[in-house]
Structure 1
Amino acid sequence: MSKPLQILQTYWKHNSFRPLQEEIIHAVLEGKDTFALLPTSGGKSICYQIPGMQMEGICLVISPLIALIKDQVQNLQNKGIKAISLLGGIPQNETIDLLDNCEFGNYKFLYLSPERMQQDWIVERLKRLPINLIAIDEAHCVSQWGHDFRPSYLKIKDLKNHFPKVPFLALTASATQRVQEDIIEHLALENPVRFQKSFERSNLAYHVIETEDKLYKVRQILSKNPQSSIIYVRNRKSCLEIAGQLQSLGLKSTYFHGGLPAKEKESNMQLWLENKVQVMVATNAFGMGIDKPDVKTVIHIQLPESLENYYQEAGRAGRNGEKAFGILLVSVGDIEIAKKQFLSSLPDKDFLKEIYSKLNNYFQIAYGEGYNETFNFNLNQFCSQYNFPVLKTFNALQYLDRQAVITLQNEYSEKVSLQFTVPSKEVIRYMSLHPKSEEIITSILRTYPGIFEIETLINISLVAKKSGSNEKEVLKTITDLEKSNTIILHIQNNDSKITFNEVREDALTINRISKPLEKQNEIKVNQLKSVINFISKDQCKSRILLQYFDEKKTKECGICSYCVSQKNKISEESISKILSLLQNEPLSSREIENRLDKTTEEIIFAIQTLLENNKIAINTYNQYYILEWKN
C-alpha cells in the first residue's frame, strides 16, 4: 500500500482517492510545481493535506476563505493533526506566539490569510519555518480576469525567492483558460505539472424553468423529489421568508446566512445534514466545505451573479453520482431586476473614497492611525447612519477587503453589558420570587463583583456554563431583570468584524487601489451577461457552461431543460407520423422504422408513449394498430 493511501485511510477513513487526487499528490511529493483545476466537490484540500502529512516539516496554506480555514483547522485538530491559522485581526503579540508555536511546536499545517503576505515581518518569520509545501487555494484570485481578484495574491510569488526548492501547489475550482495562464505566470510556477478535471457533471441536469409563481413551482419540485435540497436566495430577508413559507406548506425547512450566531448556524446545519429537515434555504454564505453526497436538488430562486457561482452552488447536488437537478427559476422581469440590482450596486472611485472616509470616521480613527485595530461592525447601522445603499456599500467594503486595506469578517457577535440598579437585598428578594433564575443571577454576581457600581460587559456563554443552564435561559433572565427595573441592560448585535490593515490616509489609499476597480466592474458586467446568455439561449445548458470554462463539448447532455424539450418535440413529431402510418394498416416496429427517417430510440420512445396512453395496441403478429380503428 502506498504511503499517501495509508495516510488517507488512517486519518480520513477513505479507501480510495477521487479522480486526479493521487496523481496530484505524487507530483507534489516529487517536488514539482503543480497546477490543479478541480471543479467543486473534487476534493482539493486532500491534495495538499496528504503530502503535507507525509513530508517532514510544515505545509503553508494560503487561502482567502476565513470560514473554510477555521473549518479545516478544526477538522485537522479533531483528527489529532497539529494545525494552526494566522488570520487578520490577531494582535501582533498573539501572532508572534502562534509563529513561535509553528517554529518549535512540530505543527504540520499553517493556514495564512493573503493579507498577511503584505506584512514584511511575517514573511521574515516564515523564512525560519521548515516549510515543505506551499499550497495556494482559490488560486484564481491572483488573476485580474478572475471573478475574485485579490492584489495580495501577487505577493505570493515572492516566497519563491525564499523557498526555491519548495514545491508550489496552485488549486482552483473554476478558471477559464486565460485565468489559468495568469495563475501560472503570477505565481511564478516553474514548468508546472498541470491537472484539469472536466467541468462536466453527467449526472446533474441543469434546468432553466420559466414560471410566474416561483413558490408554487418550488413546492411542485420538492414534492416530486423529497430528498435533501438547497434553495439559494440573494439576501437574508429572502432566506427567512422562503424558509417560513415552505414550513407553512408542510415542507420541513431551515435557513443559513452570514448574520446568524455561530450556534444557530451549527444547529440549523446539523438539522439538514442529519436529514431532519429536507430543505436548506441559504445565501451564498452557505456551502463552502460542505460535502453532503445525497443532495438531490439545488434551486436558485433569483439569478446568480456569475456562472462561476452558479456552477459551484448547483454542483453541490448529486455528489453521490446519482441523477440530480440544478434548477434556475426565472420570471418575466428577472433580467431587468438583476441588471438594476447588480449594475447599480457597483461602486466607482468616488463612492469608494466616501465609504473609506466615513468608515474611519465611524470608528473615530484619526489620520495616520488605525493600523491593526479591530472593531465590531453592523452593516445596516453603518448604512443607516450615513444613508448609504446597503448592497453597494457591501461591495465597496468587499473591494477594500480584497485590496487588503481592511479585513472584513462576516461573524455574528452579541455584546451584552448590564448594571444592577437596586440594592443587593432587593436582588435577593427578586431571586426568592423567581427561584428558576437564582442560579443564573448568582453566577453573574459571583463572576462580576463590580456589577453594582459600573455597567459591565458579561460573557453569556460563561454565565450559562457556570449556572448549568443555556444561553437562551440566561438572555431571558436578564431581559426579565430589565423589565422589572432591576438592571440597566444593553445588547448590541454585530454581524461582522473589520480590521484595518493600514493607517488612515484617505485619498492616498484610494488613489493607489482604485486602478483595478474599473476592470473589476467590467468583469462583473460580463459575468452577468453570461448568466443572461445561459438562461436565454436555446442550447444545451451543460454545453453552455462547459464552453464558458473553455471546454469544448460536441455531444448534448440529454438531461437538461433544453435537451428534454427537444426530445419532447421529436417524440411529438414521431407520434404524429406513426399514427398516420397506422391509420392505413397495422405495422411492426421494424416496418415503422423503415418508413420513417427516425432513430430506433426515437421510434421505441414514441411507441411506448402511445401504448401507455392507450392510443395503440399490439396484435398476435407483433404489429401495432390504432385502438379506435380496431374492428
Structure 2
Amino acid sequence: MTTTSKEILKKYWGYDNFKPKQQEIIKAIISRKDTIALLPTGGGKSICYQLPALLFDGITIVISPLIALMKDQVLSLQEKGIKSLAIPSGIKHSELDTLLDNCIYGNYKLLYLSPERLQQELVQERIKRMNVSLIAIDEAHCISQWGHDFRPAYRDISKIRNLEFQHKKTNPPIIALTATATPRVIEDITEQLRLDEPKLFQTSYHRANLTYTVQKATDKFYQLEDILNKSKSSCIVYVRNRKATVNTAHFLNSRGITSTYYHGGMSRDDRHKQYLKWRSNHTKVMVGTSAFGMGIDKADVDCVVHMEIPDSIENYFQESGRAGRAGQKATAMLIYNENDLVRLDNQFIKVIPGVQDVKKIYKHLSNYFQISYGEGQQTNHRFNFSEFCSTYKLHSILAYNALQVLDRNSIISLSQEFTKRATVNFKVNEYALSYYLLRNNQLDDVVKAILRTYGAVFEQVTTINYAIISTKASRTVDQVHTALLTLHRDDIIDYEHQSFDTSITFLVPRDDDRTINTIAPFIKNQANFKRLQVDSIKAFINNSNVCRAIQLMSYFNETMQSPCGLCDVCKDKTVQKNRTPANQAIIDILYEGPKSAHELTSLTHPKADIIHAIRLLLDQKKIVLQADNTYKLL
C-alpha cells in the first residue's frame, strides 16, 4: 500500500493503520477492479470508497438507500474538509439543476444519491459530464430479491454502466458493499450490477469476542436489570416500539441504571441530544427501536440486549454486532417468552400486506393529499400517520408496512421525522403587549425571540421555526410551545400548530391500480421472503442443541469448526452433565408458575436431593427466590 494512502488515512480519519481487509480492498479499487466487500458492522466500509475518492481525480458517486445515513456521512466528510454533497428527495428542479452543476464544476469529491434519484434522466445526463472516478454501491444486498431489504430500484443501477462518460474511455470501477449477504445474494449482486470478474473480500462473520445468549424468562425486566448490573460499560437495549423505549428507560432509571431512549418519532435535535448523552457516557444505556444504530460506532459497548424477537436473523446479527467493536469481551442477549413467539406472527406475518392492501393504501394516500391522476411526482408531504389511519379506519401496522412496500418499490420515498409547523399573529399592539409582559414576565424571552426574528408578526400571519425560537430564548421546543399556548389562551396571539411524524415524496405520477400492478410480483416475493425470515429466527431461538455461533455462521454459509463454549447452548450442555432428576423436576414444576419451598420439597424425590438441587439452580441463576418466599424460573 502506498504511503499516500496511509497519510490520507491519518490526516482525515486519525488512524495509523487500516482495519482488516480495508487495505486490500482499496488496493483493488486503485487498480480499477470491480470489487465486492463484505465487512461486518463496524468494519469500516465507508473508508473503502471515501479514501480512494481522495486518491482519484474526479468525483466518486455513492448510491445508498439510507437518506439519514447519507446526510450524516456528508456532514462528517464536510467537517473533515472533504467537499461532498447529497441530493435529497422532494427538491425543486432548479435546485437539483444547481446541485448537479456544482458536481461538474465545483471540484466535489463525493456525490451521494438514492437509487431512485439515479433513474432520473436529468441526473443521468449530468453524470455523463462529470469526471466519475468510482461508483460505490452501499447496502448492496438491496439489489437482490433474496436480500433482507430488497429495493427494486437497485436493479436499475447497472444502467450507469451504459452511460457514455465524456471524461472516460472506460467505465469507472464499481465497489459493492454490505455487512450481511448469503452466497445467493452475492451471486445476484454480481449479476445485477454486471460486475466484471469482481474481487471478493470477506471477513469471517464470526466474532470470537461476542457471546450470543438466548434466555427464556417469565420476568424479562428482572433479567434485563441483572445483565445490565453486571455490565461495566455502555449498553444498547432494543425494544419493539416507541412507547417501550420510554417505559424501559424510565424503569431502568428507577433502578439506578442511567438510561436514555431513542426512536424515529423524536425530532432530529432530540435524537441527537439523547445520542450525545449516551455517546459521552453521561448515561450507560441507550434504549432504542431498530431506528437506533445505523452508522453508530461506539467502541466501548459491551452488551446488546433484545427485549423482543427481531424479525430476521440478519437484523439480529447486525444489531448484536454493535457490541464489542474494540475487540473486548461482549454479550448479545435475546430475552423472550412464549407471548413473544405469538407476537412475532401477529406483528410480522399477519400484517404482511398483499397486493390489494397496497392498492388500497396507495389510493387512500393519493386522496389524502388530493393528488390527481397523472400528477404528484416529486411532491413532498408531511402528515400525522395516526390521523391518516384514523381517517380511513386502517390497521396501523398493516398500513405502515404497505407504505414501506411502496417505499422499497420506489413508488414513494418514506421517512419518519417528527416536526411541528406553526403560525403566529399578534392580536394586540406593542403597547398592550408590553403591559401584558410586565404581568407575565416568564413569557418575555419567548416573545422577544419571536419579535427579533420575525418583523411582520403584528401585520400578518407568520410561519415560525420552533428550533430558532427555542435557541434564541434558551428554552426547549416544548417550553416554547407551552408559552405560545398561554399567549393564545390570553388572547394575545392567534396560534395555529400541527405535529407531523411522517414524510413522503411521491416518486411517480398517480396511476392507482396500474402503478401497483407493475410491482405485484415483487410484493408477493417479498411477502414470501418475510415468512422465511421469521421462520429462520424462530428456528434459531428454538434450537437449544446447536451452538448459537454455529447456527448464525451456518445461516451465512460459513462453517465453524468447533462450538464457542460460551453461549447458552454450550453452557447448558456443561450443566446437563451435572443435572439430576431432582433438578429437572424443579424446573418442570416451576414452568407452571412460582412455588413455595414446601411445594418443591413435596416432589417425589429425596428431600436432600431437592434441597441440593435448589441451591445449585440458585447458583446457576436458573431460579430466584422472591420476596414472598416463592421460587420462580428465570
Using the size of structure 1 for normalisation, the TM-score is 0.89
Q: CA 1:78 to 1:245, structure 2 compared with 1: closer, same or farther past 3 Å?
A: same
Mapping of residues 263-342 of structure 1, within 5 Å: 263-342=269-348
SS at match of 1:44: coil
Structure 2 residue corresponding to 1:444, chosen from 447, 450, 465:
450
Displacement of 1:138 in angstroms is: 0.4
Match of 2:434 in 1: 428
Equivalent residues, number: 577
Q: CA 1:471 to 1:236, structure 2 compared with 1: closer, same or farther past 3 Å?
A: closer
Return 8-17 or 242-251, whichever deviates more: 242-251
Match of 2:39 in 1: 38
Displacement of 1:350 in angstroms is: 0.7
Structure 2 residue corresponding to 1:242, chosen from 233, 248, 251:
248
Mapping of residues 358-507 of structure 1, within 5 Å: 358-466=364-472, 471-507=477-513
Match of 1:127 in 2: 128
Contact map agreement 1:40 1:315 (CA 8 A) in 2 = yes
Residue by residue over 1:327-370, the C-alpha shift from the partner in whole angstroms, topping out at 9 and shown as x without a partner, is: 00011232122112211110001110010000011111111111
SS at match of 2:8: helix
SS at match of 1:419: strand
Between the aligned partners of 1:534 and 1:380, the Cα distance in structure 2 is: 34
Displacement of 1:445 in angstroms is: 3.3
Residue by residue over 1:506-559, the C-alpha shift from the partner in whole angstroms, topping out at 9 and shown as x without a partner, is: 111011112211110110000001100111012100011011011112211111
Q: CA 1:177 to 1:412, structure 2 compared with 1: closer, same or farther past 3 Å?
A: same
Mapping of residues 198-217 of structure 1, within 5 Å: 198-217=204-223
Contact map agreement 1:89 1:407 (CA 8 A) in 2 = no
Match of 2:108 in 1: 107
Match of 2:586 in 1: none
Structure 1 residue corresponding to 2:554, chosen from 540, 547, 561:
547
Contact map agreement 1:231 1:279 (CA 8 A) in 2 = yes
Contact map agreement 1:540 1:556 (CA 8 A) in 2 = yes
Displacement of 1:119 in angstroms is: 1.0
Match of 2:570 in 1: 563
Displacement of 1:439 in angstroms is: 4.3
Supply the AA of the counterpart residue of 1:194.
L
Between the aligned partners of 2:330 and 2:509, the Cα distance in structure 1 is: 50
Match of 2:630 in 1: none
SS at match of 1:375: strand
Q: CA 1:339 to 1:471, structure 2 compared with 1: closer, same or farther past 3 Å?
A: closer
Supply the AA of the counterpart residue of 2:174.
F
Displacement of 1:466 in angstroms is: 4.9
SS at match of 1:414: strand
Between the aligned partners of 2:103 and 2:362, the Cα distance in structure 1 is: 35
* Structure 1 alignment gaps of length 5 or more: 574-608, 614-631
Q: CA RMSD in A?
A: 1.9
Q: CA 1:439 to 1:303, structure 2 compared with 1: closer, same or farther past 3 Å?
A: closer
Match of 2:607 in 1: none
Displacement of 1:15 in angstroms is: 0.7
The structure with the largest alpha-carbon Rg is 1
Between the aligned partners of 2:470 and 2:524, the Cα distance in structure 1 is: 50
* Structure 2 alignment gaps of length 5 or more: 581-615, 621-634
Residue by residue over 1:457-500, the C-alpha shift from the partner in whole angstroms, topping out at 9 and shown as x without a partner, is: 11123334555666455334322212322222222111121111
Residue by residue over 1:79-98, the C-alpha shift from the partner in whole angstroms, topping out at 9 and shown as x without a partner, is: 01001001211221111111
Contact map agreement 1:11 1:79 (CA 8 A) in 2 = yes
Match of 2:524 in 1: 518
SS at match of 1:318: coil
SS at match of 1:71: helix
Contact map agreement 1:239 1:283 (CA 8 A) in 2 = yes
Supply the AA of the counterpart residue of 2:575.
N
Residue by residue over 1:397-429, the C-alpha shift from the partner in whole angstroms, topping out at 9 and shown as x without a partner, is: 111111111111222211111222334432121
SS at match of 2:376: coil
Percent sequence identity is: 44
Between the aligned partners of 1:333 and 1:412, the Cα distance in structure 2 is: 31
SS at match of 2:123: helix
Contact map agreement 1:117 1:152 (CA 8 A) in 2 = no
Residue by residue over 1:43-97, the C-alpha shift from the partner in whole angstroms, topping out at 9 and shown as x without a partner, is: 1001001101111111100000111111100000000100100121122111111
Match of 1:593 in 2: none
